[in-house]
Structure 1
Amino acid sequence: MVKAWYMDNKDADQRLEHHKSPHEYLSLETLYQKTGVEHYSINAHSFEDDELLTAIRKDRNYTFEDEITCSESCLPDFENKLKSFYTEHLHTDEEIRLVLDGSGYFDVRDGKDDWIRIAVSKGDLIIIPAGIYHRFTLDLKNYIKAKRYFVGEPIWHPYNRPSDNMECRLNYLHHQVNGFRPITPK
Structure 2
Amino acid sequence: MASSIEAWFMDDIHDNPQLPHHRNPQELVSPHYLAELGVLHWKLNPDRYEDDEELDKIRADRCYNYMDLLDLCPEKVENYEQKLKNFYTEHIHADEEIRYCLEGSGYFDIRDKDDRWIRVWIKAGDLIILPAGIYHRFTLDTFNYIKLMRLFVGEPVWTAFNRLQEEHPARQSYKMNFGGTPVKAH
Aligned to 2:33: 30
Does residue 1:18 correspond to 2:16, yes or no? no
TM-score of the superposed pair, with normalisation by structure 1: 0.93
Aligned to 1:6: 9
2:111 aligns with one of 102, 109, 131: 109
* 3-state SS, counterpart of residue 82 of structure 1: helix
The two structures, once aligned, show a CA RMSD in angstroms of 1.1
Q: 1:122-143: per-residue Cα shift (whole Å, max 9, x none)?
A: 0000000000000000000000
Give the distance between the partners of 1:161 and 1:177, measured in 2 at CA. Answer: 18
The one-letter amino acid paired with 1:126 is I
Give the distance between the partners of 1:112 and 1:4, measured in 2 at CA. Answer: 16
Does residue 1:50 correspond to 2:52, yes or no? yes
Specify every segment of 5 or more residues in structure 2 that has no aligned partner in the other structure, as ranges.
Answer: 181-186
Aligned to 2:184: none
Aligned to 1:84: 86
* 3-state SS, counterpart of residue 169 of structure 1: helix
The one-letter amino acid paired with 1:2 is I
Q: Where do 1:1-186 residues align within 5 Å? A: 1-33=4-36, 35-177=37-179
Give the distance between the partners of 1:56 and 1:92, measured in 2 at CA. Answer: 20
Q: 1:30-86: per-residue Cα shift (whole Å, max 9, x none)?
A: 2211x1101001110011222221111111111111111110101111111110000
What is the total number of aligned residue pairs between the two structures?
177
Give the distance between the partners of 2:82 and 2:5, measured in 1 at CA. Answer: 26
Give the distance between the partners of 2:7 and 2:89, measured in 1 at CA. Answer: 20
Point out the more displaced range, 42-51 or 79-88: 42-51
Give the distance between the partners of 1:97 and 1:48, measured in 2 at CA. Answer: 15
TM-score of the superposed pair, with normalisation by structure 2: 0.93
Specify every segment of 5 or more residues in structure 1 that has no aligned partner in the other structure, as ranges.
Answer: 179-186
Give percent identity, aligned residues only: 48
